Amino acid sequence: MRISRRLLDEVIAHARAEAPRECCGMIAGRDGEAVAVHRVANVAANPKTAYHMEPREQLRVMDAIDADGLEVTALYHSHPRTEPVPSQTDINLAGLLADHVFVIVGLEGPEPDVRAFRIVDGAVADAALEVEDAAPLDA
């Protein structure tokens, strides 16, 4: 998945704003290119160690993405106190979403660590996450 530095910074800002709770949301895109970030409320019973997207808000965001002619390219969430690798809970939740990239923002170190994965039939594999800097402005 390709994502601009600006959009990735939005995801990281969301993770920082929600810490020590996990944040969650969706990345809309087209042809493997991220176009927009959509925050979704985390309503997990213990939001410090898990995420669960608020169902009505999740559907509203999915409808908006579809109405814009885009698709849900990735789901994202944060790990405020651990490294950004899928937990067993993340793997279990991924069951029906094998077509999506899962982006996790880790906040345990001095700088955010962002990684992407595909999770298919319980197997976790790294996914490419190409961060593109904004094009320079013409003088």
State the CB neighbour count (10 A cutoff) for residue 23.
25
- The Cα-based distances of 98 to 15, 51, 80 in angstroms read 23, 18, 24
Going by C-alpha positions, the residue among 10, 5, 19, 6 that lies closest to residue 106 is 19
Bridge partners (DSSP) of residue 115 are: 104
Active site residues: 22
Retrieve residue 85's tokens.
């690798």
Per-residue CA distances from 31 to 3, 84, 97 (Å): 12, 25, 17
Query: Is residue 20 a contact partner of residue 48, using CB atoms and an 8 Å limit?
Result: yes
- As a whole number of angstroms, the distance between CA 100 and CA 118 comes to 7
